[in-house]
Amino acid sequence: MSAFPGSPRILKGGIVLIDAGSSAVLRVIALQYNPDSLTRSLQVQAVSADGGDRSEVLRLKGPPVETLKLEAEIDATDQMEFPEQNGVVAESGIFAQLAALETMVYPSSGQLRANDLMAQFGTLEIVPMETPLALFVWSKSRILPVRITEFSITEEAFDTALNPIRAKVSLGLRVLSVNDVPGGHKAASLFMNYLQQKERLAGGAAGQLSALGLSGVP
């Protein structure tokens, strides 16, 4: 189905997996449809909680803990419009799209085999397995390093071979700040870019005291 020639190209939101050391792109997961809503919450990291030291009331321990929640839809019907996907969708429905999302929260089979071999050889301390760095991309101005905290899938329709052909995926993400990673980590620089972008935007939205009916602060 072709779009109206004069219609603007709609950017997709999605997730990019990169190697944190080299910044090499390992996988790009574009959402088939942009979610209708994106829920964001910020938990303030204050030094002084209720009843704490009054001299610390305006001090912060670091950036707020920011979390995101969204729900994405995947539908095999619309994917059949693209010839390069016809074979995959006909054979396995939307399993490939679901697998691309699900494997973000799995260690790789190679890592599991390597740890199993080390255990068999009597290795006393096995370092926990590290996943690629996930970036949540929601426009060019919002590229956020994140960790997946919640993941659920509701499969809603199936073909005759019981392959899922329509599903909803709910994701919970936590933004990784400079407090979450070592100095020099790729996630730290991406977070600083995100914060500096906020500061630039905030500077352009400054109001006037007169709008509040004030001529000065008492």
Tell me the pLDDT tens digit for each residue of 185-213.
Answer: 999 999 999 999 999 988 888 788 888 88
Rounded-to-integer distance, Cα 118 and Cα 128, Å: 12
Task: Please state the pTM of the whole predicted model.
Answer: 0.84
Tell me what the pLDDT averaged over the chain comes to: 87
Does residue 35 surpass a pLDDT of 90? yes
pLDDT given for residue 80 in this prediction: 66
Q: Is 194 helix (H, G, I), strand (E, B) or coil?
A: helix
Average pLDDT in the 82-97 region? 77
pLDDT given for residue 4 in this prediction: 53
106: nearest Cα among 136, 77, 132: 132
Rounded-to-integer distance, Cα 25 and Cα 27, Å: 6
pLDDT given for residue 5 in this prediction: 57
The answer to which of 7-11, 129-133, 136-140 has the lowest mean pLDDT is: 7-11
Q: Which residues lie below 8 Å from residue 146, measured CB to CB, with a gap of 6+?
A: 15, 68, 134, 135, 136, 173, 174, 175, 176
**Domain parsing of the chain, residue ranges:** 14-46+57-106+133-201
* Number of H-type helices and E-type strands within the chain: 5, 7
pLDDT given for residue 85 in this prediction: 59
Does residue 1 surpass a pLDDT of 50? no
Q: Which residue has the higher pLDDT, 122 or 92?
A: 92
pLDDT given for residue 116 in this prediction: 84
